Structure 1
Amino acid sequence: MSQTTSLPVGREAVLEKGWWKAYQFLILRRISQVFFLGIFLLGPWAGIWWVKGNLASSLTFDILPLTDPFVLLQGMLAQHWPEMTAIIGALIVGVAYALIGGRVYCSWVCPINPVTDTAHWLHDKLGFAKGWQPKRNTRYWVLGMVLAVSALTGSIAWELVNPISMLHRGLIFGMGFAWTFVLAVFVFDLVVSRRGWCGHLCPVGAFYGLLGKGSILRVSATKRAECDDCMDCFAVCPEMHVITPALRGADADTPIILSSDCTNCGRCIDVCAPDVFTFTTRFDETPAPARAERRNTKRQPEASRAA
């Protein structure tokens, strides 16, 4: 076991790998989130209309249509048959996320992700209790309810209360009442349920998780035998239950994280000093021996060991 595993989360990685490699995927995610939000704001803010529309439906350079397949599905259930461009846009988006991982949307695109990440950071800093933790499949019940309400009311139901859309529209036209939706998500994750929104309730994440169930891009614990039990990967992972089967499996078990709940955020790669994790594909057959059995002993103070 590493003698530095008692350090704050991620500190050992900074010491071993350097600051950039210990934060590279977090920084790249923030750049990605700002980029996707920024290209939509260029039009109304600067009059540069490279992209028209929003995350629900857009047209890039007046050529490329992109449509959120979740929004399209709600519209079809509401008996609003879409135009062919919307269907093509949904197919493009759907195929892309089916290949790279549906919940990549949650960690690399969604503008609410920095809000919930900030709430989680502050939650830990203030030492709040874990709080209420609904079952993880609750989000699938919420997803089903959203689709049912769309069918019954003839409306794209989730867009009426979607904090992602509220934030996007608020940045363009002024936040107004939309602040309450974004603030509610922040407060919920801060004091009610740790990582509760994205990890347990959001139907958008549930939909994209199902969409990317067979995706090619995956995170793998290829060097799991070198794990020093620092637990930093579990501390930063927004869906920590996905790590255990890959990291602590037997020799015959795949080191690849195959759960569709994984957001491919890369934070486990960032904070791991021994570089246990890496991005790969679901077809990677590189052998990864299981971790050796470790005795459950506490490290002794330096003075005790010297004696």
Structure 2
Amino acid sequence: MNDKARLPVGQEAVEKFGWLRAHRFLILRRLSQLFFLSLFLLGPWFGIWWVKGNLSGSLTFGILPLTDPFITVQSMVAGHWPELTALIGAVIVAVAYALIGGRVYCSWVCPINPVTDAAHWAHEKLGMQKGWQPKRGTRLWVLAMVLAVSALTGTIAWEFVNPISMLHRGLIFGMGFAWTFVVAVFLFDVFLSRRGWCGHLCPVGAFYGLLGAKSLLRVSAANRAACDDCMDCFAVCPEMHVITPALRGKDGDTPIILSHDCTNCGRCIDVCAMDVFAFTHRFDATPAPARDDRARSKPTPGASRAA
């Protein structure tokens, strides 16, 4: 194992750039999640109704409708055609995420993300094994099942068990039974499956991943020739399989992470002391310098620095 892989994750970046620079996108993500959550809580908590509704559907300043397209699709397959305002809101949200990256929702907006990140931190601190790891396509099957149940029952099926909606409602009206679902997600990721909920089961993430499959915003390993095999990017990435093709690519392979599983969380950029990664767009034609044969011959990491 590379000696640098034995160091705490991100230590090199902290020593080289400072703590804030080595956590900038993590901090921005938390501020983003807090911002969106606060917008919905201003009304119920303080009587400031800039935004009415929740992440499923809202009206901003009494003018701008925003609707979760996943909710809209469930409603349509259930046989309930949404009103025009809801359809317009769904189109606005769908276009936005199709352009910037569907799973940006997962890492920059979803209030469950801090819960699963905390679960991952606890999982690592407890020294737990990665546990049960369903195939990556499992969440697509869950997505298909949700739509099938909606069609068969005539309901928006996922909303009965959606921990995102329950967390929102719980913060407004008091958690009550909603805590059960949020705590269940946390315990599942800690004890049963490392990064299991967001990475393998959540149909919302699966839906937004498909929605943003051709999105413009991408992370690129543009400076992959400088990689020193510290493995920190693999350790922090919630979808580590997306890194390998870009970072370990052969001469001529694109350095851009094109997988729709990527959440554009930016943590690989944060922790890389060699500045290998950067945000770019999917049409960035800048060629990446090739890694040497020794580096390309190394096996794909995954076990040496547990994510």
Q: What range is the shorter-chain TM-score in?
A: over 0.9
TM-score by length of 1: 0.95
Deviation of the 1:4 alpha carbon: 4.3
| 2:259 paired residue number | 259
User: After superposition, where does 1:110-189 map in structure 2 within 5 Å?
Assistant: 110-189=110-189
Q: CA deviation at 1:67?
A: 0.2
CA contact (8 A) 2:14 2:22 kept: yes
Deviation at 1:289, TM superposition (A): 1.6
Please name the residue that 1:16 is paired with.
16
Instruction: Calculate percent identity across the aligned residue pairs.
Output: 78
Does the 8 A contact of 2:252 with 2:287 survive in 1? no
* Secondary structure of residue in 2 paired with 1:253: coil
Matches of 1:254 and 1:109 in 2, distance apart?
28
> Corresponding residue for 1:305?
none
Letter in 2 for 1:248: R
Please tell me the root mean square deviation across aligned C-alpha atoms, in Å: 1.4
- Separation in 2, partners of 1:78, 1:293: 54
Name the SS of the counterpart of 1:294 in structure 2.
helix
Q: How does 1:1-307 map to 2 (within 5 A)?
A: 4-294=4-294
- 1:244 shift after superposition: 0.1
Distance (whole Å) between structure 2 residues aligned to residue 5 and residue 173 of structure 1: 46
* Higher radius of gyration, 1 or 2: 1
SS of the equivalent of 1:243 reads helix
Code of the aligned partner of 1:247: L
Q: What residue identity is the alignment partner of 1:144?
A: A
- Give the CA deviation at 1:2: 8.2
Q: Per the alignment, in what secondary structure is the counterpart of residue 293 of structure 2?
A: coil
Large movers: runs of 4+ above 4 Å: 1-5
Is the CA contact 2:22–2:270 (under 8 Å) kept in the aligned structure 1? yes
- Residue by residue over 1:134-188, the C-alpha shift from the partner in whole angstroms, topping out at 9 and shown as x without a partner, is 0010000000000000000000000010000000000000000000000000000
The 2-side partners of 1:176 and 1:265 are apart by 31
**Is this contact kept in 1: 2:5–2:230, CA < 8 A?**
yes
One-letter identity of the residue aligned with 2:14: V
Q: 1:268 and 1:46 mapped to 2: Cα distance? A: 38
Name the amino acid aligned to 1:94.
Answer: A
1:44-68 per-position Cα deviation (integer Å, ceiling 9, x unaligned): 0000000000000000000000000
Could you tell me how far apart the structure 1 residues matched to 2:179 and 2:131 are? 24
Alignment partner of 1:133: what SS? coil
How many Å apart are 1:294 and its aligned residue? 2.7
Q: What does the per-residue CA deviation read over 1:76-98, in whole Å, with 9 as the maximum and x for residues that have no partner?
A: 11111111000000000000000
- Measure, in 2, the Cα distance between the counterparts of 1:107 and 1:199: 12
Structure 2 length normalisation: TM-score?
A: 0.95
Deviation at 1:293, TM superposition (A): 2.5
Please list every run of 5 or more consecutive structure 2 residues that lacks an aligned counterpart in the other structure: 299-307
Helix, strand or coil at the partner of 1:213: coil
Residue 304 of structure 2: aligned partner: none
After superposition, what is the alpha-carbon deviation per residue over 1:199-230, rounded to whole angstroms, capped at 9, x for unaligned? Answer: 00000000000000000000000000000000
